[in-house]
Chains A and B, each alone.
Chain A
């Protein structure tokens, strides 16, 4: 699943570690999502959307 998480994170000048801390997951999890090697669970996707004040489909785009 494609996503623009890295762009959104960069807009806020957050590091991957900052985002990982905000989401309560490991930095490897953020790296894997940004590289589109790991599709987050639905609760985590909702949490990511809440963190960036947008909808899930604004961040994640189905292939």
Chain B
């Protein structure tokens, strides 16, 4: 993993068109596959599949055809202390989330509670992001004080 930064440079126009074409093709492919898996509601399923696939498909097109012109990699990014801080924060956050999941699972099993999965999953995403961010700040503070 190395640090990258965006530049003000632009890719040639035909690269944007190629990215768009790739994105559309991938979106259509996923859409048809999802629709085919639900023949009773083909168009509804295909539309939902298209909505879900459009952003990642367009992003992939940008990554393949555009980002080489607009993003520069920091050749010394691997050697900076910030990368070590990020790794430490990520590893710590992973263990924190793991402990939370284990404890919460035990509480649910023992207490026989039933809760919706979606809020819990969103909470875990928020917890891991906030945890990693706080850990990074704490590690940075300890290292520089």
Contact = CB atoms under 8 A, between A and B. Distances in A.
A28 interface: yes
Q: DSSP majority for the B interface?
A: helix
Nearest to A31: B144
Given A28-B80, A41-B78, 4 more contacts: A29-B80, A38-B84, A41-B79, A43-B79
A19 B41 CA distance: 64
B143 A40 contact: no
B79 A28 contact: no
A51 to B, nearest CB: 13
6 contacts: A24-B76, A26-B81, A29-B79, A32-B143, A32-B144, A38-B84
B143 A38 contact: yes
Contact of A24 (B75, B82, B144): B75
Contacts of A33: 81
B144 A25 contact: no
Contacts of A50: none
Given A28-B144, A31-B144, A38 B81 contact: yes
Q: Which 10 A-B pairs have the closest CB atoms?
A: A24-B76, A44-B79, A29-B81, A32-B81, A38-B81, A29-B80, A25-B80, A26-B80, A41-B79, A37-B143
A59 B75 CA distance: 23
